[in-house]
Amino acid sequence: MLSTWGAIGLCALVAAVTAAVSFFVISRKVCRKTSYMLDALEDGETNFKFNERSLRDLNVNRTLNRLRGIFLKEKEAIKEQEEYLSKMMENITTGIVVWDGDGAVRYCNNVALKMLGVSSLSSIRQLRNIGDGIDRAFLQVTPEREGRITVENERGGRTLSVACTRAVLSGKEVNITALNDISGQMDEYEFSSWEKLLRVLTHEIMNTVSPIASLSEALLEDETDPDRKKGLQTISSSSRDLIKFVRTYRNLTGLSLPMKRAFELKELIDSVIGLTKADFEAAGASCRYVGRSEDILLYADYGQISQIFINLLKNALQAGAQNVVIEAGIDANDITVVDVCNDGHPISESSRKDIFVPFFTTKKEGSGIGLSLSRQIMRMHGGSITLLGSDLSGTTFRLTFR
């Protein structure tokens, strides 16, 4: 009996040792395979797969392959989300710049690059080359305080609002700066202010001057004294001139809504050149049209747009221009862009910011209404007119039709 129990015990011991050894071997295999898989995944390598044909390691290999599959699915989902976010960021109207505490730019969408007028942006310090103080504006803006910057580029000057928020990316705090073009809002506010002022001024002036003009004319009929009659004539004439002057400015607030229709831009320019032909011949000057795109169509008020070009051409002649070139084309965003260039005397730097302001003029006989009226017409058409540049090489006004 003892020998039988001894044999049984020995068999049990052998079985236990064998199981322990097998477990140890299998555990080492599992650890080795798991470690290999983790090292590969950490290095971004997913081109591996464990053999599921071997019955001995079938369960382990199948489990590891399943984990690999879950990882690949999650990685693909993250990639899709990143692509979706990237496309979304490229199709918004807000410029986004993500940068860290060292000033290094982590991300910048194309909208921000266009707003800032650069082809690439790797550091906030590069903004010093765009304009004075722009880099400081980025650094000084906080989540509690927004800022504004003015950027000059090929489209002229534009005002941008700058807002900031902060987040943590890869364990490091970053700044997310949002840029929005508020030039249109600023122009609208400026025009609204001028419109209100003009209405008040014209109303008050007309109410005051009209009775004076009527009364002076009535007194003239019965006046016999030569000196008094001369004085009354002066009062009457001055009053009528002032009334005429005020009525001119009423055009700024009484401009009718555009009667839009489709027409070819070349047709309009040819008509304008024909209307101003006598003035150009008298000045010994020339005007020509250059189309950078074929069949440029506008949907606008033909008469109002013609008035803008006539005004720009007459201004060029008054500035002593000998050559005027009207260039037109359609840009990558399907926006019609028209540049009116002349080689006349440049507009002084001190006057450039005020040329679209009502009442402002640099001419002795000017009314100061032409460019103000032109800007209002373009605004009513959803477009814009800006002074692109003015120096000894020439003066260029740009019209954009969206």
pTM, 2 dp: 0.50
Alpha-carbon gap, residue 386 to 76, rounded angstroms: 48
Q: Residue 2's pLDDT is what?
A: 44
Long-range contacts of 378-385 (CB under 8 A, 24+ apart): 378/308, 379/187, 379/188, 379/191, 380/255, 380/257, 380/258, 380/304, 381/258, 381/260, 381/300, 381/301, 381/304, 381/305, 384/184, 384/187, 385/308, 385/356
The token duo for 205 is 């002036």
pLDDT class of 1 with cuts at 50, 70, 90: very low
pLDDT class of 382 with cuts at 50, 70, 90: confident
Q: Residue 38's pLDDT is what?
A: 75
Residue 321 scores a pLDDT above 90: yes
Alpha-carbon gap, residue 178 to 218, rounded angstroms: 66
pLDDT class of 104 with cuts at 50, 70, 90: confident
CA-nearest of 288, 253, 273 to 373 is: 253
The larger pLDDT score, comparing residue 323 to residue 370, is at 323
Mean pLDDT of all residues in 364-391: 79
Q: Is 66 helix (H, G, I), strand (E, B) or coil?
A: helix
Exposed (0-12), middle (13-18) or buried (19+): which is 205, by Cβ within 10 Å? Answer: middle
Q: Residue 226's pLDDT is what?
A: 78
CA-nearest of 117, 133, 114, 195 to 357 is: 195
Mean pLDDT of all residues in 241-258: 64
Bridge partners for 123 per DSSP: 104
**Residue 125 has what DSSP assignment?**
G
- The pLDDT tens digits for 197-228 are 666 666 666 667 777 777 777 777 777 777 77
Lowest mean pLDDT among 66-70, 159-163, 344-348, 366-370: 366-370
Alpha-carbon gap, residue 135 to 144, rounded angstroms: 18
* Residue 170 CA: distances (Å) to CA of 100, 132, 174, 308: 11, 32, 10, 55
pLDDT class of 90 with cuts at 50, 70, 90: low
Residues in Cβ contact with 397 at an 8 Å cutoff, skipping those fewer than 6 apart: 312, 339, 340, 385, 386, 387, 388
- The pLDDT tens digits for 269-315 are 999 998 899 999 999 999 999 998 888 999 999 988 998 999 899 99
156-169 β-sheet, strand order: 105-108, 95-100, 172-181, 156-169, 147-153
Residue 375 scores a pLDDT above 60: yes
pLDDT class of 395 with cuts at 50, 70, 90: very high
Mean pLDDT estimate for the chain? 77
Residue 24 scores a pLDDT above 70: no
